[in-house]
Amino acid sequence: MNTKNTLNGAQAMVRMLEAHSVKHIFGLCGDTTLPFYDAMHTLDHDITHVLTRDERSAAYMADGYSRVTSKPGVCEGPSGGGATYILPGLIESNESSYAVLGITTDISVASYGKYPLTEVDQKAVMAPLTKWNTVITQADHIPRMVRQAFRAMTTGRSGSAHLGLPYDVQYQSVPPEDIWADANHTSYPAYRVAPDPSSVEAAVDSLLSAKNPIVVCGGGVVISGADQELAILATRLDIPVATSISGQGSLAESHPNCLGVVGSNGGTDETWALLAAADLVVFMGCRAGSTTTSRWEAPKPGARVIHFDSDPMVIGANYQTEVGVVGDLKLALQALNAEMDKRGQASQSYGGAASIAAAKKTKFEHFQVHANSNELPIRPERVIDTMMNVLPDDATIVSDPGTSCPYFSAYYQLPLSGRQFITNRAHGALGYSLSAALGVWFGRPNSKVVAMMGDGSFGFTCGELETVVRHKAPITYIVFSNSAFGWIKASQEADCDKRYYNVDFNRVDHAAVASAYGVKAWRVEDPAQLKKILSEAIEHDGPTLVDIVTQPLEEANAPVRRWMG
């Protein structure tokens, strides 16, 4: 890295990103980004800038990239509308505990308060939505502020950060000797913190005193990379391990001790029964929020709870906790297994594998009835079953939170642990998966990337198909097409006595739209054609889209607890 020449603020920002091993930036140009783009163009570096068609998409791409690389994703946008459009992705990554840096260029500091075009108080807007945030007012602050942003994103509970970079600051000089980075902050979790040994001992005491315990994992296990340590614990105790949707991948779903998703979205009666019957629940990197507990229906207040989390604010927030263990999940599980080794607790059987096998047998008998159906429109279960038959084991699947998500989370059996499934569970914005999938592909180019969405979501960000085609990304998009905002319509069916209001829209030929962008696309209405066409789409060496006319969600048997009378 050449730091001998004088740097201006924009160049210093590029060099600081380079120092933090940033390889990709997702963003959209604007007037206030002129110096930054010029620095990206004229400096010698190995950062790839991906021009997007929407700042929301840039943030979703950075989020997807971060989830599969365990490195901070970086997105950027201009002042005014760019700064506000980038917000949805930053709040999603922050609340889902993924490291994403949003850089928004700004009007000149010299023009603050003079009513210039695109003025907005970026610091105030970003403050409640990010883990760390500032607007830089002097160029010589840039190196220090970038280091602080990466430190905040990657340590403790990971999250998003925001840096505002005013136009005039980008032209001011920066001492080149201040361009450096802590290598530990180029990935996360950084500076892992081990738990208090006494809390681990207490957790073992409580766990071994239970007769029918269950572990419920959230996204923290996958973020920490603690899946192998969890597998050791699950096997040695033969304990059932359930997950939230974000926690999928904590164990491979083919593991005999993996029960699967529990809760109000993606859970089923069979998985719920095991959670409800437990005499002790171990929350592992899970906030015990409304979805996983079906609005705190189980465990019931007063139930015995052990809670492991890297964030002490989570422990005891929703349930009185018998033992709280604060620390990085990988280190905490290592300590838990070591404590059992020390006690000579080599194995114990809580009967998890047998009870899970029985529950899955019943669940999948019900599933196969619909998965084998030739009904028209095509059953969503049939789509999920076909995907399981044609996708490679190491595929990475992204879903919007609508129609596809509960079916996938309930029934698709991920054969590998780790982050193989991604969905935006914190705020559930539509339009996420189409964009996030491109970030996933940049981060994991050797994995087959598949993105699922409803037709409502497709309409949010279909313009980003041009970006996908421009980069020749071999992503396969699957659209569940039912001509409605299906989740809301199904809720009106369940909660409003079928009083449907303003949830339907015209049927669109999404395959034709995708073809116009240069995507190889198919439209499927006959279930007998589904496997053949999905196989062709998966095997094609460029972008593909399969538009599947599916059963309306309000008529379906979706695994959503409040719709299942």
pLDDT tens column, 362-380: 999 999 999 999 999 999 9
- The whole-number pLDDT of residue 274 equals 95
Residues of the chain with CATH 3.40.50.1220: 197-354
CB contact burial 149-159 (16+ within 10 A = b; e otherwise): bbbbbbbbbbb
Assigned token pair, 101? 């840096």
As a whole number of angstroms, the distance between CA 188 and CA 131 comes to 15
As a whole number of angstroms, the distance between CA 388 and CA 365 comes to 16
- The whole-number pLDDT of residue 532 equals 98
pLDDT exceeds 80 at position 514: yes
- The whole-number pLDDT of residue 4 equals 56
- The whole-number pLDDT of residue 185 equals 98
pLDDT exceeds 80 at position 153: yes
CATH annotation of 7-186? 3.40.50.970
Q: Is 280 left (phi over 0), alpha (psi -120 to 50) or beta?
A: beta
Transcribe 205-252 into DSSP letters: HHHHH-SSEEEEE-HHHHHHT-HHHHHHHHHHHT--EEE-STTTTSS-
Q: pLDDT by residue (tens digit) across 294-329?
A: 999 999 877 899 999 999 999 999 999 999 999 999
CATH topology of domain 197-354: Rossmann fold (3.40.50)
pLDDT exceeds 90 at position 5: no
- The whole-number pLDDT of residue 487 equals 84
> For the residues 119-132, what does the mean pLDDT come to?
96
- The whole-number pLDDT of residue 344 equals 87
Confidence at 6, pLDDT banded by 50, 70, 90:
confident
- The whole-number pLDDT of residue 562 equals 81
Q: pLDDT by residue (tens digit) across 216-243?
A: 999 999 999 999 999 999 999 999 999 9
* Of the candidates 147, 141, 129, the residue with the CA atom closest to the CA atom of residue 186: 147
pLDDT exceeds 90 at position 556: no
- The overall average pLDDT reported for the chain is 95
> For the residues 382-392, what does the mean pLDDT come to?
97
- The whole-number pLDDT of residue 557 equals 85
> For the residues 350-362, what does the mean pLDDT come to?
96
Assigned token pair, 333? 């599980």
> For the residues 280-304, what does the mean pLDDT come to?
92
| Residue 430 · residue 443 · CB < 8 Å | no
- The whole-number pLDDT of residue 207 equals 96
Residues of the chain with CATH 3.40.50.970: 7-186, 372-563
Confidence at 1, pLDDT banded by 50, 70, 90:
very low
- The whole-number pLDDT of residue 565 equals 56
Percentage of the chain surpassing pLDDT 70? 99
DSSP 3-state of 410: helix
Lowest mean pLDDT among 144-158, 399-413, 468-482, 551-565: 551-565
pLDDT exceeds 90 at position 523: yes
CATH annotation of 372-563? 3.40.50.970
Pairing mode of beta strands 173-174, 7-8: antiparallel
- The whole-number pLDDT of residue 553 equals 85
pLDDT exceeds 90 at position 175: yes
Percentage of the chain surpassing pLDDT 90? 92
| Residue 65 · residue 42 · CB < 8 Å | no
